Amino acid sequence: MTKNIPALLAAAAAFALPALAQEKTVIQYDCIPNYANWGGVTALYLKETGVRVPPDPKGSSATMAALEKEQANPQADVAYYSGAIGFQATTKGLHQPYKPKGFDQIPADLKDPEGKWWTVHTGHIAILVNVPALKGKPVPKSFADLLKPDYKGLVVYSDPTVQGTAFTFVYGINAIMGGGPDMAKGFDYLKRLDANILAYPREDSYNDLVRGEVPIWINADGNGLKAKHVDKAPIETVVAEEGTIVMPLVMAMVKGAPRGDEAKKYLDWLLGPSAQKTMAESFFRPVMPVDLGPDLASKFPPASAYSKARTLPLDQMAANADAVKARWVKEIKGSR
């Protein structure tokens, strides 16, 4: 028997290799497991279809940069972005049109009419607070509060040249502060906030917030609500008294997607009820009508919390994105 073991092992390997080679995949750039429950969404897709969508740590701007670099030899099939960066990527010719099943039900202002991008869910910019990590300091209730000396070295928002949510904050704070096209009021606020900033990480800070290593994270409201209700962390999600910015999160099919047929099936599925509800379990608001059930629905903040929410024109955000990022690097990051 022992003489046959090598032969048996070789036969098993020969059988396994074709199976591995045949595993179907869809490559999604910006597929961070702890953001909008992409880990849960892609696990469900694998369970329902047998198709794997691997995690990908890129933020929106890093995704756009990667697609630009790979235009002659595309590697990704689909991409996920904050709305303004997805709009900008479309203007750079990085997407091909596709209208997934359910496309007609998406509001007109949340999609490209040709299907070059469309919203899958929305979030809002919020102040996410690990309460014990404040060590007795009061929970901030506004963006103005974050400028107080109490919070020196406690505040984080991501590098907006990489992460789309951070770009939405950096661009949107100007509107919240009543600023005009010159962005002066927004950058004045960001310069004053810099005194209290712990870091501008290029990566997602969700786990750091949950552990208390980041006491205050300016990010999407859904991430704070998920940390509290799903991961049972002592997190409070604060919609700032001055108001907030509505953030569409969008999908697109990459131009020249190497696995185009599988990509279309996946994009269709993302607008279906199982995917939309799974996304909502991380407290991003579905773009499609879906029954969340009374327990999940009750955990979302009331509509009154968002009475001062602003929706900014994506075309203007996209047109100014490169200039705003460059200015942030020069005036904020470069001053450190």
Residue 53 has pLDDT above 60, yes or no: yes
Dihedral through CA 295, CA 237, CA 289, CA 86, nearest 10? -150
Q: Is the dihedral of CA 192, 64, 68, 315 positive or negative?
A: negative
- pLDDT of amino acid 12: 44
Residues 57-96 pLDDT 10s: 999 999 999 999 999 999 999 999 999 999 999 999 999 9
DSSP structural state of residue 34 = T
Which of the four pLDDT bands, split at 50, 70 and 90, describes residue 23? confident
Whole-prediction pTM value?
A: 0.87
**Cβ-contact 280, 292 below 8 angstroms:** yes
Residues 128-171 pLDDT 10s: 999 999 999 999 999 999 999 999 999 999 999 999 999 999 99
- pLDDT of amino acid 4: 53
Three-state SS at 305: helix
Of 335, 323, 182, 167, the C-alpha closest to 247 is 167
Cα–Cα dist 324/184, whole Å = 11
Residues 280-295 pLDDT 10s: 999 999 999 999 999 9
Residues 172-225 pLDDT 10s: 999 999 999 999 999 999 999 999 999 999 999 999 999 999 999 999 999 999
Residues 242-276 pLDDT 10s: 999 999 999 999 999 999 999 999 999 999 999 99
**Cβ-contact 218, 125 below 8 angstroms:** yes
Of 188, 175, 160, the C-alpha closest to 322 is 160
- pLDDT of amino acid 334: 82
